[in-house]
Amino acid sequence: MLAQAVEHLIKNIVDFPDDVSVKSHENSRGELLRVRVNPEDIGRVIGRNGRTANAIRTVVQALSDHKVRVDIMDVRR
């Protein structure tokens, strides 16, 4: 559910919504959501001084009942 919510949020921010993918992984530190976006959209998703990325992380933590990390990557990696 969290991955779908993050994907929906980010697809409405970027210019290339077809390049957005969110994968969920469990590890010892909790859940990890890996977000991949087009390289041209990375600045839009991170935002000035990381404000957009922090807002996305805040929304995810509000929706979740456990520890969740959100990593934002571009498709080149």
Q: Look up the domain containing 23 and give its range.
A: 1-76
Dmax (CA) for the chain in angstroms is: 34
* pLDDT band (50, 70, 90) for residue 61: very high
Q: What is the pLDDT of residues 11-39, one digit of tens each?
A: 999 999 999 999 999 988 889 999 999 99
Question: What's 16's domain CATH number?
Answer: 3.30.300.20
Report helix, strand or coil for 60.
Answer: helix
Burial of 74 (0-12, 13-18, 19+ CB in 10 A): middle
pLDDT for residue 76: 67
d(CA 42, CA 47): 8
pLDDT for residue 77: 54
Q: Compute CA 61 distance to the chain's CA centroid, rounded to the nearest angstrom.
A: 12
Q: Amino acid identity of 15?
A: D
- What is the count of structural domains for the chain? 1
* pLDDT band (50, 70, 90) for residue 73: confident
